[in-house]
Amino acid sequence: MLSRFSLAAIIGGLLNLLYVDNAPDHLRPYVIRQYATAQSTMLPREIFRFYITGASSNNAFTLLTANAPGNPSWNVLPHIHERHFENFYCFKGRYQLWAQAQDNTTQQTRVLTQGDFGAVVRNSTHTFQTIDPDTQLGGMLVPGGFEELFLTIGNASHPSTHSPYDPAFVNQTYSLTATESDIGQQQAFDVYSQLRFQPRRDAINGTAPAGTTWHTGPNQLAEFGRPYFIANGFGPKFLNNESSYQVIQPLVSPTQAGDLNFTMSTITVSTTPPNVTVPTWNLNNIQAFQVLEGMLSIQIASYDVANLTTGDSDPYFTKAMLMSQGYDGVDQQLISRGFPWDSAMFPNRWS
Ligand SMILES: *[C@@H]1O[C@H](CO)[C@@H](O)[C@H](O)[C@H]1NC(C)=O
Ligand SMILES: *[C@@H]1O[C@H](CO)[C@@H](O)[C@H](O)[C@H]1NC(C)=O
Ligand SMILES: *[C@@H]1O[C@H](CO)[C@@H](O)[C@H](O)[C@H]1NC(C)=O
Ligand SMILES: *[C@@H]1O[C@H](CO)[C@@H](O)[C@H](O)[C@H]1NC(C)=O
Ligand SMILES: *[C@@H]1O[C@H](CO)[C@@H](O)[C@H](O)[C@H]1NC(C)=O
Ligand SMILES: *[C@@H]1O[C@H](CO)[C@@H](O)[C@H](O)[C@H]1NC(C)=O
Ligand SMILES: *[C@@H]1O[C@H](CO)[C@@H](O)[C@H](O)[C@H]1NC(C)=O
Ligand SMILES: *[C@@H]1O[C@H](CO)[C@@H](O)[C@H](O)[C@H]1NC(C)=O
Ligand SMILES: *[C@@H]1O[C@H](CO)[C@@H](O)[C@H](O)[C@H]1NC(C)=O
């Protein structure tokens, strides 16, 4: 399911217009629709949109999506970011992600389908290749500002129909080495090409090396400094039952983020039982939600209620991605007042 809205519910600021077509140039609350203009820019065979930017988040993070058809080769030359932790999410379609840790131990690859996640920590060599005709990947980068690279090398082209990508992409050919020849310029944007890296082509059932667990059993978040992959629903889970039921699935916790001071989780929310009052949150840090399924209604003090939806205006099931600055965000608080839970689903009865 696709999110119709992305939201950066960013604390601070007093403007009254929540809905924007491009992320604001300063920190303030806002709501932005999926496939909004979002400073979209085209590169050969892919279009990028920037829902959260360094400017709109006080450099906390960048949230971008890339839409593309399948690609006969990698979408980008293998490279390293020394300063940016890059999180890959699969919103729809399929793409393959490769990552190798800084110490050059075994190269890993996974084919990501909807809801799968890959954490490319700093100094990991990585690349990716889109596979399905309607593929959308999410890139959540910390700290913010990484969009400057794409805004510089892309052509600032916006599809007037808001089509996810241009159908003409399927016939575009391009040379990666020509596209990315100016490595000197890219290092200014924290991109260090790794031209000798050979992405392995031996994945079976979406994974390599052999013996790795992918859609066949639990995935763990790795120790600090190592890339890792979490298949949709196979990571750690917690249930919070303080008001509605909320299943929190951490994707990046304080251990993996270290000095970067952020967390990421998905939160699956039930309806609210009739006799329960929805609690008010008083948050001092930046929180961003992207709705994956259902609808999330958010009221930010002194603003109207914003309904972040995939289309159903009164859903029984909602799932959202949360990015949080600091180690006391909505996900960490729900986890600390909840308990480990072994299902991706909330209970089928009110207790
Ligand atoms: C922008 O670049 C894309 C990819 O190379 C290309 O398909 C598109 O025609 C370009 N648009 C403009 C307006 O230059
Ligand atoms: C990444 O590599 C750079 C260059 O070697 C180094 O300065 C930096 O400390 C490394 N970062 C991490 C988190 O290991
Ligand atoms: C890992 O491989 C790269 C590229 O071949 C090389 O530059 C780097 O020194 C290697 N790192 C270690 C820890 O061996
Ligand atoms: C791609 O190229 C083929 C062969 O020239 C052509 O038949 C097809 O219409 C093109 N598709 C698009 C979307 O441009
Ligand atoms: C791949 O998946 C099929 C079907 O589940 C299974 O029979 C086969 O053993 C798997 N291969 C490997 C190498 O895991
Ligand atoms: C809500 O009502 C149910 C059923 O009557 C009851 O078991 C539950 O304790 C109530 N919850 C609260 C928070 O009052
Ligand atoms: C948001 O959804 C709620 C519940 O469906 C509805 O009552 C409210 O009018 C909606 N608000 C907006 C601004 O669409
Ligand atoms: C981490 O983020 C929180 C919330 O924004 C902030 O209060 C704190 O100062 C940050 N800590 C560091 C070490 O940057
Ligand atoms: C939440 O779950 C715990 C553990 O099952 C249970 O003891 C508690 O009563 C539940 N609280 C509510 C409000 O349902």
For 234-274, write each residue's pLDDT tens digit: 999 999 999 999 999 999 999 999 999 999 999 999 999 98
Mean pLDDT of the chain: 92
Centre of ligand 4 to C-alpha 166, Å, is 12
Query: What pLDDT shows up at residue 178?
Result: 57
User: Domain ranges in the chain?
Assistant: 34-230
Q: CATH fold of 34-230, please?
A: Jelly Rolls (2.60.120)
Q: Is the pLDDT of residue 7 over 60?
A: no
Give the confidence band of 304 by pLDDT, cuts at 50, 70, 90: confident
Residue 170 Cβ < 6 Å to ligand 4: yes
Query: What pLDDT shows up at residue 207?
Result: 98
Give the alpha-carbon dihedral of 27, 16, 4, 246, to 10 degrees: 80
- Greater pLDDT, 5 or 192: 192
Centre of ligand 1 to C-alpha 155, Å, is 6
Residue 57 Cβ < 6 Å to ligand 8: no
Task: Say what the pTM is.
Answer: 0.93
Q: What is the DSSP string of 251-264?
A: EE-HHHHGGG-EEE
Counting other chains too, the contacts that 275-279 makes at CB distance below 8 Å and 24 or more residues apart are 276/243, 276/244, 277/243, 278/243, 278/244, 279/242, 279/243
Give the confidence band of 5 by pLDDT, cuts at 50, 70, 90: very low
- Reduce the secondary structure of 72-125 to three states and give it as a string: CCCCCCCEECCCCEEEEEEEECCEEEEEECCCCCCCEEEEECCCCEEEECCCCE
Q: Is 82 a catalytic residue?
A: no
Centre of ligand 1 to C-alpha 186, Å, is 20
Q: Is the pLDDT of residue 279 over 50?
A: yes
User: Any idea which of 38-42, 258-262, 276-280, 333-337 has the lowest mean pLDDT?
Assistant: 276-280
Query: What pLDDT shows up at residue 15?
Result: 42
Query: What pLDDT shows up at residue 11?
Result: 44
* Amino acid letter, 150: F
Residue 205 Cβ < 6 Å to ligand 5: yes
In tens, the pLDDT along 125-183 reads 999 999 999 999 999 999 999 999 999 999 999 999 999 999 999 999 877 765 555 66
Query: What pLDDT shows up at residue 307?
Result: 83
Percent of the chain as helix, strand, coil, to the nearest 5: 10, 35, 55
Nearest CA residue ID for atom 2, ligand 3: 104
Q: Is 162 a catalytic residue?
A: no
Residue 46 Cβ < 6 Å to ligand 1: no
Query: What pLDDT shows up at residue 181?
Result: 57
Active-site residue identified among 81, 84, 147, 293? 81
User: Hey, which of 242, 350, 351 would you mutate to test ligand 6's pocket, going by the most ligand atoms within 8 Å of its Cβ?
Assistant: 350
Atom of ligand 3 nearest to the CA of 194: 4
User: Hey, which of 285, 327, 328, 331 would you mutate to test ligand 8's pocket, going by the most ligand atoms within 8 Å of its Cβ?
Assistant: 285
- Distance CA(286)–CA(26), nearest Å, equals 13
Atom of ligand 5 nearest to the CA of 204: 13
Q: Is 126 a catalytic residue?
A: yes
Q: Is 26 a catalytic residue?
A: no
Phi, psi values for residue 222, rounded to 5°? -80, 170
User: Is 183 in a helix, a strand, or coil?
Assistant: helix
Atom of ligand 9 nearest to the CA of 350: 14
Mean pLDDT of 80-87: 98
Residue 220 Cβ < 6 Å to ligand 1: no
Task: Tell which residue, 65, 9, 78, has the closest CA to residue 37.
Answer: 65
Query: What pLDDT shows up at residue 179?
Result: 57
Residue 15 Cβ < 6 Å to ligand 6: no
Centre of ligand 9 to C-alpha 245, Å, is 10
